[in-house]
Amino acid sequence: RANAEPTLYVPLAALLLLASVVFLMPPVFRRLINRGLRLLRREPLDITATYGDMLVLFGARLVGHLMLGVGFVLFARGVSEITWQQAPAMIAAYVGAWLIGFLAVVVPMGIGVREGVLALLLQNQFPFGVIGVMALGYRTWMLVRDLIAALIGVWLGRGIVPTAAPHAVSSATGNAPLEGSP
């Protein structure tokens, strides 16, 4: 229910956190991953992660999601008047929408799914038009960020991977290079 008291979601969040911890226990994680790979007719993986490794990865992912949510709140503050008391709910809504968009494997990068879920989760806090501007604007901002990062990567990677020289094709195939061509 979208209009439920936020404290009603605390037990659900605690249950999801507990389930995450159980699923990330190395023996459970290994079995789940390899069962999924068997369903896909793939070779099982030899996963040697320890409990500490999984906790570090889980913590890093939580920090990453928190940073995404804070970025969304900061972006949204430029669009609308938002109090800092609204920030935790907005962070949770954005992270939840991101995860649901991630799980929507039939659409690339959850396009449309994330924005729709975000509108649903924030419908009691903001008018629909404001939510739309926030969601689509932040999606565009993230796209620009990714494009800039890719361009920087291409620029920094120049010369690291040598370009392949054109291969001479055997004249036996009838595809010999033309005289004077490189």
Burial status of residue 116 (CB atoms within 10 A of its CB: 0-12, 13-18, 19 or more): middle
Cα separation, 131 vs 137, in Å, equals: 10
- Residue-wise pLDDT for 49-71, tens only, equals 898 998 898 899 999 999 999 99
Q: Are residues 148 and 81 in the same domain?
A: yes
Q: Are residues 100 and 16 in the same domain?
A: no
- Residue-wise pLDDT for 94-134, tens only, equals 998 998 888 887 888 778 888 999 999 998 889 989 999 99
Q: Are residues 91 and 122 in the same domain?
A: yes
The answer to whether 81 touches 95, Cβ cutoff 8 Å, is no
The pLDDT, as a whole number, for residue 34 is 93
Q: What is the mean pLDDT of residues 133-144?
A: 92
- Residue-wise pLDDT for 11-22, tens only, equals 877 888 888 888
In the 8-state DSSP scheme, what is residue 173?
A: G
**117: containing domain:** 61-157
**119 within some domain:** yes
Q: Sorting pLDDT into bands at 50, 70 and 90, what band is 6?
A: low
Q: Are residues 43 and 126 in the same domain?
A: no
Q: Are residues 68 and 96 in the same domain?
A: yes
Q: Are residues 44 and 79 in the same domain?
A: no
Q: Are residues 84 and 139 in the same domain?
A: yes
**113 within some domain:** yes
In the 8-state DSSP scheme, what is residue 8?
A: G
> Dihedral angle at the C-alpha atoms of 21, 26, 29, 32, nearest 10 degrees?
-140
Q: Are residues 74 and 23 in the same domain?
A: no
| pTM for the full predicted model | 0.69
**163 within some domain:** no
Per the structure, the count of domains in the chain is 2
Q: Are residues 45 and 112 in the same domain?
A: no
Q: Are residues 125 and 100 in the same domain?
A: yes
The answer to whether 94 touches 72, Cβ cutoff 8 Å, is yes
Q: Are residues 43 and 72 in the same domain?
A: no
Q: Are residues 39 and 123 in the same domain?
A: no
